[in-house]
A and B are shown apart, each in its own frame.
Chain A
Amino acid sequence: MMRHWSFGGVFGAVVLAVLVLVAVAAPWLAPGDPLDIVGRPLLPPFTDPRFPLGTDQLGRNVFAGLVHGTRVSLLVGLAAAAAAIGVGILVGTIAGFLGGWTDEGLMRVTEAFQTIPTFLLALAMVSALGASTINVVLAIAISSWPATARLVRAEILSLKSRDYVDAARLAGMSRLGIAFREVLPGAVQPVLALIGITVGVAILVESSLAFLGLSDPNQVSWGGMVANGRAVLRTAPYLVAIPGAAVAVAVLSVSLVGDAMGRRLLVSREG
């Protein structure tokens, strides 16, 4: 079983590395603005060497869109996950360490966010505030921090009774000082296992929002490409198939890598 997962982890890591490389090298792989109209509309893939994956109904290069879309997907995925995990750690630490009414209050808020259908919330947010990359990142972050917060809080609760915490308290450190400097590093470790899932979900949510027309119009997004292709699904199914597959590959690779990381952590903690 270990072998099986580590194979998945390696596979995921390789795919992810390729995606990152593509994202970084996008301006060289497909120079120019991917939103530019550059060719005849609806050229099928593999017919014109200039447009290896064909063109969409406006004559935009699908390959260029795919390549530049990698940037947006990975960037939004990572930024949103980082923000979500950051907020989660902050809330979880404060709640777990201060306890009492602070804990009670923060946990009620966390629960609220876990109870509302968060995609509806993200939809309302982006729609009301306007579709820009930063708003999309914020909306995704706001809807996915509670998991981290609860995990961190639980870890902190189990750690804070330990000896070294008492030692720090005797040494006269402030409560939050102890929390962030002494306890947090130990509590954050299991959070690493959540990164893969969080990034994967963020990429999926970004593509779903883009599919509903809520993405930055100055940038290509895979979900947006699918939404464009939807109207011509029968005539040019590749316009839906290609970017959708890209989303799946990206999400699969980050979740494989995240999974492998989580398992290694588990092994190192238990063993």
Chain B
Amino acid sequence: MGRTWTLIRRRVLQAIPVILIVSIGIFGLLELAGGDAVDAYLAVTGGGDPAFAERLRQQWGLDAGLWVRFLAYVESLVTLDFGWSVVMSKPVSVAILERLPNTALMMGAAIAFSACLGTLLGGIAALRRGTAADAGITVGALVLNAMPSFWIGLIAIVVFAVKLAWFPLGGIASFDRPELAIGRVFDVAWHLVLPVTVLGLAYMALYVRLMRSAMIETAASDWVRAARARGLPRSRIVRRHMARPALLPVVTMLGLQAGNLLGGSVVVETVFAIPGLGSMAYDAVSQRDLPLIAGILLVGTLMVILVNLLVDITYARLDPRVTDDRVRADGGA
């Protein structure tokens, strides 16, 4: 227990400078952009005059000097009150909380799907090394990895939603959602099948390759050789002595991929019309909604940090050798 807390404390302390850098970067970026939230608002409403625009800028605090706005921005971040979203017309925190579950659900499912299927296939490829199955899995993973997810998504929609009508065209739930809780769960799951599969497939290749090479490595290790010499059953050798240590790099990769997966969800959410953080980020950027963009990026960053924390804890569980000086400290890409 103590070790876990140390881990958490260290992660959180490390996160502070990260969040600071990210927030300053966001502010600077939006300063460089042409046009502000008032321009975006006028574009949507279709008119106005300079006096009206001036009043809006005053109301939204856009007419103050650079430093005043920056300080206000920092204050809103420090107090975790992300401010008011012009796009959503509600507090940023509320807007994010409304959408966070959808994205978290999709991301979590996609991570689980890609890691489970990836390690399974990678393991099979390693055990059947050199066979057609191995080649098929390896090449298949590479090809899937090369395909843009928006493309797979669009094709999946045509085939599975339009032609076969097995799944809905998009969205997170039916508007006439079922009365029973269990029905609602199934409804959401049914809506998530295609997007989760598409998002997961794009990231699966990595786990296939990692698992495959790690398994091949552990197969050659002294442990496994000794176990074989002792005459242990093959299934037990594979599970205990090959797969378990081979999972370590996979777990590490989960943490490293969390950010990419969240980025990928922008495209997938757009294709499948899922009201999540990703699609909201796209709206927020195009409407110059600084508080909302900042909020989304920060929450996204926090999600990544959280996933990494979970990864650290899992890692420590999986690998008894790991103490505070973790092997993965500089785990590379």
Q: Name A residues whose Cβ lies closer than 8 Å to a Cβ of B.
A: 1, 4, 8, 108-109, 111-112, 114-125, 127-130, 147, 150-151, 153-154, 194, 197, 200, 204, 207-208, 211-212, 223, 226, 230, 233-234, 237, 240-241, 244-245, 247-252, 255-256
Contacts and interface: CB of A to CB of B under 8 A. Distances in A.
B332 interface: yes
A252 B142 contact: yes
Contacts of A204: 146, 148
B146 A147 contact: no
Contacts of B17: 108, 112
Which 7 pairs show the lowest CB-CB distances between chains A and B?
A119-B263, A244-B151, A128-B33, A251-B146, A147-B333, A252-B146, A117-B262
A150 B332 contact: yes
Contacts of A247: 146-148, 151
Given A123-B285, A255-B145, A116 B333 contact: no
Contacts of A116: 18, 22, 259, 297, 300-301, 304
B293 interface: yes
Interface residues of B, number: 59
Interface string B15-42: 1011101100110011011100000000
A268 to B, nearest CB: 18
B270 A154 contact: no
Nearest to B305: A115
A112 B148 contact: no
Interface string B160-179: 00100000000000000000
A117 B151 contact: no
Nearest to A107: B330
Nearest to B296: A120
B285 A127 contact: yes
B260 A112 contact: no
Given A112-B17, A150-B332, A211 B148 contact: yes
A180 B321 CA distance: 37
A129 B33 contact: yes
A223 B150 CA distance: 9
Nearest to A127: B285
B264 to A, nearest CB: 7
A124 B332 contact: no
A109 B142 contact: no
Contact of B148 (A118, A130, A150, A223): A223
B332 A151 contact: yes
Contacts of B162: 234
A233 B18 contact: no
Contacts of A129: 29, 32-33
A115 B14 CA distance: 11
A86 B308 CA distance: 28
Contact of B157 (A121, A150, A233, A251): A233
B146 A128 contact: no
B297 A120 contact: yes
Interface of B: 14-15, 17-19, 21-22, 25-26, 29-30, 32-34, 129-130, 135, 138-139, 142-143, 145-151, 154-155, 157-158, 162, 256, 259-260, 262-264, 266-267, 270, 278, 281-282, 285-286, 288, 293, 296-297, 300-301, 304-305, 308, 330, 332-333
Contact of A118 (B15, B260, B332): B260
Contacts of A255: 142, 145-146
A120 B262 contact: yes
A147 B143 CA distance: 23
B130 A115 contact: no
Contacts, number: 164
Nearest to A241: B155
Given A117-B263, A200-B146, A124 B26 contact: yes
Contacts of B21: 108-109, 112
A151 B266 CA distance: 28
Given A117-B301, A128-B29, A234 B158 contact: yes
B148 A207 contact: yes
B267 A211 contact: yes
A4 B263 contact: no
A250 B147 CA distance: 9
Nearest to B19: A112
A226 B297 contact: no
Contact of B282 (A115, A200, A212): A212
B47 to A, nearest CB: 24
B304 A154 contact: no
A190 to B, nearest CB: 10
A252 B143 contact: yes
Contacts of B304: 115-117
28 contacts: A4-B138, A8-B142, A108-B21, A111-B18, A112-B21, A115-B18, A115-B304, A117-B297, A119-B267, A120-B278, A120-B297, A121-B297, A122-B263, A123-B282, A124-B281, A124-B293, A150-B330, A150-B333, A194-B333, A204-B146, A230-B154, A233-B157, A240-B151, A244-B151, A250-B146, A251-B147, A252-B146, A255-B146
A231 B36 CA distance: 29
B259 A114 contact: yes
Contacts of B264: 119
A117 B281 CA distance: 11
Given A108-B21, A118-B259, A212 B32 contact: no
Contacts of A4: 130, 135, 138
A178 B136 CA distance: 47
B7 to A, nearest CB: 16
A109 B148 CA distance: 29
Contacts of B25: 121
